[in-house]
Structures are given as structure tokens and as C-alpha cells.
Amino acid sequence: AQRVTQPEKLLSVFKGAPVELKCNYSYSGSPELFWYVQYSRQRLQLLLRHISRESIKGFTADLNKGETSFHLKKPFAQEEDSAMYYCALKEGGNYKLTFGKGTLLTVNP
Amino acid sequence: EPEVTQTPSHQVTQMGQEVILRCVPISNHLYFYWYRQILGQKVEFLVSFYNNEISEKSEIFDDQFSVERPDGSNFTLKIRSTKLEDSAMYFCASRGTDYGYTFGSGTRLTVV
């Protein structure tokens, strides 16, 4: 069963528009969720961790346990935000990460 | 900023051959991981390694796979007899005592 679902494979917005990348999870315990970003041909980079409640590059994400969601949001998208975004769930004491399939965000000028 | 280094960046091998993918984790990190991503699919966990032994492995990580930390700095993934379906991007990652993974830039393995 899918534990992390990113329903949108592709998302295209215009520069300056708000963007929301959806992530839903399935986990019986207390979830620990992350967003990773992968710019073209580069490594996976940690963007956000829900526990830290910080804002990186203008992105925020709030854990909603009632809706089992951890959507990533940014009020004004920039062209340099174009990348692949992965939602990930930490499972177990070994810190194994279970990734969603990813959403390719394209920000058009 | 410290980086996880993976070599080679791209490897082409014939089916049935052995391959070794190499990783140099961040020097003070204690936990090491391999993940893979088949083209067009999601990133999947393969194995975690701590204190010189495997701490967890996925069902993908069968007897054809092995990991080793031979000299205290390198962390290697060996595939004994490669199959076409092993073609993927392989990511190494390391973690210190906090939550933060640092991923390498990956090795693209192509089995022909």
C-alpha cells in the first residue's frame, strides 16, 4: 500500500502565482515528514522537515494529521523553483525514508 | 558545506557482470544508506548501515546485493551479477546524529 501519495505528476504555474504541491501519507504512528527537492541533474536536497516548522526559499508545509496531509506551499513561485519535489515519510528507528513518486514543478515566465 | 561523493557518475555494464558503486559519506556521519530510482519511478530504499553492519534492508536488497565499509571512509554497494532491471540511479546518503540526510549526486547504472 502506498504510504506517501503525491497525486500530481506534473504541475505548471506562472511566475508570481501561488503554488501548492500535494502530499498525503498513511502511517499508524506519529509521522515525521520531509520535502526534498531535486533540481535538474543534481542531488536530492532537504527542503523542509515538518518538525522544524521553518520556511526555506519561501516554501512552507504544515502537517495536518486530520487530513493526513503535508502539502508544500509558496505564495509567489519563481522560475528557479522549477524542479522535482518529493515528499518523504520517515519510517522506523533506522530513519528509512519512504518517498512519494514526486511532482515536477515548472514555473513559466 | 560537506558533501557525499559518489563515483562513478555513470556506469555501463553487461548483464551478469559485477559492479561496485562507491560513496564517500560525510566524515563524522554514522549512518549510511543506499536508495535507487528506476527511470520514471520513485526513489526506493535499499539498505541502511550502522556500526559496520546492515541495520535494515528492503525486499529489493536480495542476495545479489551487498554493502561494505572497507576502510572507514568509503561505503560501497556491490551487485554481484547485474540484471537489466538493475538499471537505475543509485543514491548514497549519510546521516549524523540529527535527522538530516545528505544525499550524493548519484550513480546512473545502465545494464546492457
Give pLDDT tens digits for B7-40: 999 999 999 999 999 999 998 899 999 999 998 8
Chain centre distance of CA A109: 22
Closest residue in A to B47 (Cα–Cα): A96
Task: Tell me how close the Cα of A45 comes to any Cα of chain B, in angstroms.
Answer: 7
Q: Given a cut of 90, is residue B71 above it in pLDDT?
A: no
Q: Delineate the domains of chain B, giving CATH numbers in brackets.
A: 5-111 (2.60.40.10)
C-alpha cell at A36: 526534498
**Residues of A with CB below 8 A from B101's CB?**
46, 95, 97
Domain count within chain A: 1
The sign one gets for the Cα dihedral B75, B3, B62, B83 is negative
| pLDDT 10s digits, A36-83 | 999 987 789 989 887 776 778 899 998 998 999 999 999 999 999 999
Q: Given a cut of 70, is residue A2 above it in pLDDT?
A: no
Burial class (CB in 10 A: 0-12, 13-18, 19+), B70: exposed
CB contact under 8 A, A99 and B44: yes
CATH number of the domain encompassing residue A99:
2.60.40.10
Distance from C-alpha of B73 to C-alpha of B28, rounded to nearest angstrom: 10
With cut-offs at 50, 70 and 90, classify the pLDDT of residue A95: confident
For Cα atoms B28, B29, B32, give the angle at the middle one, nearest 5 degrees: 150
User: Mean pLDDT score of chain A, rounded to an integer?
Assistant: 90
| A97 → closest Cβ in B45, B50, B104 | B45
Domain span at residue A39 reads 4-108
